[in-house]
Each structure stands twice: as structure tokens, then as C-alpha cells.
Amino acid sequence: MILPRQKATFPLAKGEYETIKQRMLDWSKQFSILLLLDSNGYTDQYSRYACLLAVNAVDTISSGQEDGLENLNRWHELHHDWLFGHICYDYKNVLEKKLSSRHAAKHNYAPLHFFCPEIVCYINPQQSELSIESLGPSPDEVFEAIRNSLPFAPAPLPSLKFQQRTERGVYLQTIKLLRQHIYNGDCYEINHCNEGFCEDVSINPPDVFHRLNTLSPAPFAAYYRLHKQYMMCASPERYLYKNGKRIVSQPIKGTARRGENAEEDCLMKKCLRKSIKEQAENVMIVDLTRNDLARSCETGSVKVDELFGIYTFPQVHQMISTVSGTLRADMQYTEALRYSFPMGSMTGAPKVKVMQLIDECELSRRELFSGTVGYITPDADFDFNVIIRSLFYNETTRYLSYQTGGAITYDSDPLQEWEEMRLKAWALERIFS
């Protein structure tokens, strides 16, 4: 039986937000299980928190079986408390019996894993107050411990050279093969990714996350630790959001580099917005997302709130659309996850066929990459990201990796796809150079 939480809210002085956020990261290093979610100042109509931190598990739901989401729902109905955690891309094998993963796991995350934290800390979108909810020490004790922590002072990162799991020539040939699958009618869009990796390296994950989050601040950034496993994430993409009965998904498809100056940057945005190829990629995934949400939402409630929105991030411009619906009264909230996972922006369509092709054509197991991490509130609302632009580190095996890629359509140019994949990879690799 989980006891009621002690709760308190503390005002933050103007300009104190960045300092207190750094102190929260420093304070959290003592815990072997934690999840920090950082919006980096990006706000929209769905924003609940500027920053959200959960530490120390008092209970855990971990599963690689079909009843994983049902167990998650059952636990929440019993306790009505916070849950934080992840769903690996490979949970697809549980949801769809036709699927499997042929490559060996390097990071060994459980397919589905959530924890109820001892302490939850969150800063409101206005960055004016810090709230603390605790099952252990009093909120006042936690607040004092955070304020007495040092502002995070990262050490220099090692210089690392990443190997590519798929070399350029093979990557180009694979794109040609996937275009042939599309021509043959096997699918009409497929997400293809490549792994970059370093073996036998030693890093300090909080330093890596701080550097990544400084150079590539993103609205769905995350620092995740599960004992010896770490994820440092700079994701710009929301997978699924719930508020009451409303379900929202915001798939990203369409990427353009930033310009060298303001004039060129504006031109790159206009070219992205007018690109027939990028619009085709985006609208295919919008249609897939509409279909996914329709499986758990009321008939007629699914709609496209925004189509082809152009949003700017430090390294790239992105085309983002918003799709929403109303959860059916007879549906558990976890059914919205079941019927939409994995997210269409990281698979393609039709989903089952392209996930089979992904396993055939990619040379690495995705694991946590292109899965999701996020939170569920005591009221059963949630917000989950898409795990992209992320580094993964296994402290036991000293294996560091990332994966990047893009959506392939029949109009895709293999060389341009390679360059887009490398542009996304560069944003991760450069923090070690």
C-alpha cells in the first residue's frame, strides 16, 4: 500500500529557474533510478511543466509480456499515483505476434518498464515555482537539499570517433532496395535508421546530457538512468499526450538544415514548407496517426488540428502536424498506447509490413531508440516523447551508441537520405569532438 504524498510548493525568484534546474540535476546524481524531463523553455497549449524530475523507485512495473499495459493500468487504478518510465520499440513484438527482432540487444532494457518514484519535483511552465511531492523525506528537506546542491559543473568530454554500423555504400543500396519495395506495392513509406557506436569508452552521463542539452535544447529532452543504463535525449517530438479524454499526437516528418544566416535560414524554412516530397512524407504519417487514434477514440472525434507546421530547432527545421481525438468511454487509457505504438513517424506504413522490413534491412536492434519515455499523473493523464536524437550508454559493457535515419518514399534520393541521416548524427557526435 503506497501512502499519500506530502506536497509543497516553493516560489522561485525571477531568473532562478536555470540555476535551480542545474541544482536538481546535481542533486539527482545520488539516485540509481531517475528520469528528468526538460522542455527547455518551449511551451505550447499542452505544456504542464517546464521541468519534471522523478527519483528513486518505491514500486516497479516491468514486463516483456502481452499483459504489460494491462498491468500498468491495473496498478494505476489501485494506487492513483505517479508513474515514470519507458516502452522500447521492441515492445512491438509483444503487441504484434508476426514481428520479431533478429539482432542482439546491446543495452538490455526491459520492453516495458515503469516506476513509482519516491520523490517528484516539477517546475510550472511560467518557471515561477517548484512543487515537490514525496513519499519519504519532507518537501522542505528535499527543497533544502536541492538548493544546497552545487550548480552543475560539467567536466570536459572525451574526444570520441564513432563507427557506423552501415557504411555509406551499403546505406545507399538499402535505400534503393526500399524504393523497390515501395514500387512493388509492399509499402508506401518506411523509416530507415543506422547505428553509430563506440566500444570500450568511459563517460560521465550527466556531463554528456548537460552538453547535449546545451547544444541541442529540445522540448522533449530527457535524462534517464536505470542503474547502469543511461539515456541522454534531445527529442523534438511528442508521441502521445492525454488530458482528460483528449488524446493528442504530433508526428514529425520533414527536415531541413539551418541556414548560415537569417536570409538563408528563412529560405530553408520556405523550401521545407513547399516541398512536395516532405509534404507527402508528412501526410502519409498523419493519415496513419489518424487511423491509430481512431482505434481507441470516439467515432468522428479524430481530427487534424495542424497540418505541415514548420518549427525551428538549433540544428534543423522540422515539419510537424497535430492530430487529436476523444478517448472512448469504454477504453482504458493504456489502450491509446496499445493501438498507436510504435509511433508511425518511426515506422512508416502499413505498419506491420514496414516493421518486418525494418528488421530485415537495419543492422542493429533499436531497443529504446524510437520507443518512448514519459510520465503518467495520478489522474491518469500522460505525456510521452519519441526517443530520437539520443545517446545510450551501458556502463557495464562501456558501449555508447545512437541511431539516426529518416523516412523513405519512392521519391527519395539515396544520397540525400544519407546526408539527412548524417546531419542528425552530427548533432550527437559533435559533442565529443
- Alpha-helix runs per DSSP H in 59-149: 68-79, 92-95, 139-147
DSSP state of 297: B
- Rounded to 5 degrees, φ, ψ at 106 are -105, -25
CB atoms under 10 Å from CB of 381, counted, come to 15
**How far apart are alpha carbons 121 and 391 in whole angstroms?**
24
Tell how strand 390-394 and strand 229-235 pair up.
antiparallel
The answer for residues whose C-beta is within 8 angstroms of residue 299's C-beta and 6 or more apart is none
Tell how strand 220-226 and strand 348-349 pair up.
unpaired
Beta bridge partner(s), residue 402: 196
The answer for residues whose C-beta is within 8 angstroms of residue 247's C-beta and 6 or more apart is 240, 241, 293, 296, 297, 324, 325, 326, 327, 336
Residue 349 gets the label, from left (phi > 0), alpha (psi -120 to 50) or beta, of beta
Q: Count Cα neighbours of 424 within 13 Å in the Cβ-side half-sphere.
A: 28
Instruction: Yes or no: say if 294 and 302 are a contact pair by the CB < 8 Å rule.
Output: yes
* 77 has catalytic annotation: no
SS3 state at 194: strand
Q: Hunting for cell 544566416 — which residue is that? A: 261
* 278 has catalytic annotation: no
From 133, 189, 195, 237, active-site residue: 237
Strand ranges for 204-280 from DSSP E: 220-226, 229-235, 238-243, 246-250, 252-257
Q: Count Cα neighbours of 153 within 13 Å in the Cβ-side half-sphere.
A: 3
Omega of the bond leading into 342 within 30 degrees of 0 (cis): yes
**How far apart are alpha carbons 84 and 381 in whole angstroms?**
12
Total residues belonging to the chain? 433
Beta bridge partner(s), residue 197: 163, 401
From 21, 253, 269, 351, active-site residue: 253
Instruction: Just list the catalytic residues.
Output: 237, 253
